[in-house]
Amino acid sequence: MTRKPAIVAPSMLSANFSNLADAVKLVGEAGAEWIHVDVMDGHFAKNLSFCAKTVADIRPLTKLVLDCHLMVDNPQDYVESFAEAGADYFTFHAEAAVHSHRIIQSIKSAGMKAGICIVPGTPVGVLEELLPELEQVLVLSVNPGFGGQKMIPSCLDKLSKLAALRKERNCHYLLSIDGGITMDNALTVIESGADVIVAGNAFFSAPDHKAAVRSLKGLARQAG
């Protein structure tokens, strides 16, 4: 069965922070469709990175989808500011919220698309009641905080389970995977059900960014 090419979302966490405008330009010229913006508060994830102002500053530079991944406590506190900044997707962590259903409604009322993410230790089952409300489900295949880690293979099963649930429940969320995705494992990950491939290190360290995108899309087994 020929699957359609994956959407590629390079993660800005692996870009050179001293020149994000160049990184945005590079991502667009390489043929990627999304830009993945990792937001960390130093509590939920033991690192600090971008904020709503980062999104506001890169918004006028690109028409690409700004896919914001909030690895933060109290994600509801950031919905308004990211909407004003021009974020397209606001994806928060199921582990960081009691009232996920309410947060999803607030993301949509603010004009963004709602996504939810689960860390490697969280089972797919916690999402079941939310699936009909979601535009994106992000499977984090590393422990949150840093780029350049190895993918945790057991996370692939979550993709297949979520793809099956989507069909069974007639839902429409995009399935994304994030963490340790490379030109070598992208095809396997796509065959497991991923619609969106987030890649930080594999994209920004590639000698040929266009070839990297083609490979991450599953259009070529290896980069090049």
Could you list the active site residues? 38, 178
Judging by DSSP bridges, how do beta strands 113-118 and 136-140 pair with one another? parallel
User: Would you say 101 and 128 are in contact if contact means Cβ atoms under 8 Å apart?
Assistant: no
Q: Token digits for 201?
A: 């290190």
User: Would you say 99 and 67 are in contact if contact means Cβ atoms under 8 Å apart?
Assistant: no
User: Residue length, the chain?
Assistant: 224
Pick what 147 binds: ligand DX5, Zn ion, none; C-beta below 5 to 8 Å, kind-dependent.
ligand DX5
The C-alpha atoms of residue 102 and residue 79 are separated, in whole angstroms, by: 12
Q: Does 198 contact ligand DX5 by CB under 6 A?
A: yes
Rounded to the nearest 10 degrees, the angle between the axes of helix 209-216 and helix 20-29 is: 60
Among 35, 50, 66, 69, binds Zn ion (CB under 5 A): 69
The C-alpha atoms of residue 38 and residue 58 are separated, in whole angstroms, by: 14
What is the H or E stretch that residue 203 is in? helix 201-204
* Min dist. Cβ of residue 31 to Zn ion (A): 20
User: Would you say 37 and 67 are in contact if contact means Cβ atoms under 8 Å apart?
Assistant: yes
Number of residues that bind ligand DX5 (CB under 6 A): 23
Q: Which is nearer to ligand DX5, 85 or 118 (CB)?
A: 118
* Min dist. Cβ of residue 168 to ligand DX5 (A): 28
Among 148, 160, 188, 220, binds ligand DX5 (CB under 6 A): 148
Q: Does 178 contact Zn ion by CB under 5 A?
A: yes
Could you say which residues in the range 42-71 bind ligand DX5, by CB under 6 A?
45, 69, 71
* Min dist. Cβ of residue 109 to ligand DX5 (A): 25
Residues lying near Zn ion in the complex (CB under 5 A): 38, 69, 178
Residues lying near ligand DX5 in the complex (CB under 6 A): 11, 13-14, 36, 38, 45, 69, 71, 142, 144-145, 147-149, 178-181, 198-202
